[in-house]
């Protein structure tokens, strides 16, 4: 998810780590008691990915995996060989911090990279991936996602660089007659 540049990982205090660990444990406990048999989180993520692919016109196969650690937190790997699927990896503890909208935004961002890789491979940037993502998710959900990502990694940057300027969107309401 973050751009490919040296990490400015400032470290998380051990107290915060302990707190996060507790939250994760609570999250898993709640999930274990509420989940239907076989309703693994990754199945829901895969379903969302498939739906987003259809909406974005992506015909390549994309496989989601949950991982304990991911240096980029959420990432997309190109197919190792032609015909193989793209691999979208999500760090589990980050996923647990996100609302449904933010999860969808994270997946849409990574699928933005797939879209760029298959349509304009030499133009691969975070900004363009987000431009594609904003065909199906809001700028607001992406901005919330970046806030949580930077809270986790200790990195910070200008949101406009990643999402472009915020544009006032005017919605016209027509009479229903």
Pairing verdict, β 62-67 and 86-91: parallel
Distance of closest approach, residue 129 Cβ to Zn ion, in angstroms: 5
- Asked if residue 134 lies in contact with residue 56, where contact means CB atoms within 8 angstroms, the answer is no
Residue number, 1 or 88, with CB nearest to Zn ion:
1
**Footprint on residues 15-34 left by Zn ion (CB under 5 A):** none
Task: Using CB atoms within 10 Å of the CB of residue 66, give its burial: 0 to 12 exposed, 13 to 18 middle, 19+ buried.
Answer: middle
CA dist 113 → 8, 17, 131, 143 (Å) = 23, 31, 10, 17
**4 vs 46: CA distance, rounded Å:** 25
Query: Which residues 6+ apart lie within 8 Å of 93 measured at CB?
Result: 20, 24
Contact letters (x/-) for Zn ion, 73-112, by CB under 5 A? ----------------------------------------
Residue number, 24 or 125, with CB nearest to Zn ion:
125
**Footprint on residues 116-145 left by Zn ion (CB under 5 A):** 126, 129
**Footprint on residues 155-174 left by Zn ion (CB under 5 A):** none
| Most distant CA pair in the chain, distance | 62
Distance of closest approach, residue 85 Cβ to Zn ion, in angstroms: 18
Query: Which secondary structure element, helix H or strand E, spans residue 64, and what is its range?
Result: strand 62-67
Distance of closest approach, residue 51 Cβ to Zn ion, in angstroms: 20
Residue number, 1 or 114, with CB nearest to Zn ion:
1
Q: Residue count at the site for Zn ion (CB under 5 A)?
A: 3
Distance of closest approach, residue 59 Cβ to Zn ion, in angstroms: 21
Residue number, 102 or 126, with CB nearest to Zn ion:
126
Distance of closest approach, residue 64 Cβ to Zn ion, in angstroms: 15
Task: Give the range of 1-9, 23-31, 79-87, 163-171 binding Zn ion by CB under 5 A.
Answer: 1-9
Edge to edge, the sheet with strand 62-67 lists: 62-67, 86-91, 74-77
Interface residues with Zn ion (CB under 5 A) are 1, 126, 129
């Amino acid at each position: 998810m973050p751009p490919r540049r040296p990490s400015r990982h400032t470290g998380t205090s051990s107290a915060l780590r302990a707190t996060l660990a507790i939250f994760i444990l609570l999250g898993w406990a709640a999930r274990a008691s509420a989940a239907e048999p076989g309703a693994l989180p990754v199945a829901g993520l895969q379903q969302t990915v498939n739906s987003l692919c259809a909406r974005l016109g992506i015909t390549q196969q994309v496989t989601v995996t949950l991982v304990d650690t991911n240096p980029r937190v959420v990432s997309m790997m190109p197919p190792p060989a032609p015909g193989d699927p793209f691999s979208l990896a999500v760090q589990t503890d980050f996923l647990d911090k996100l609302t449904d909208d933010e999860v969808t935004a994270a997946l849409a961002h990574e699928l933005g990279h797939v879209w760029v890789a298959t349509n304009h491979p030499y133009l691969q940037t975070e900004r363009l991936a987000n431009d594609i993502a904003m065909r199906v998710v809001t700028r607001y959900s992406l901005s919330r996602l970046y806030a949580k990502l930077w809270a986790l990694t200790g990195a910070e940057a200008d949101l406009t660089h990643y999402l472009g300027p915020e544009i006032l969107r005017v919605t016209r309401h027509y009479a229903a007659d």
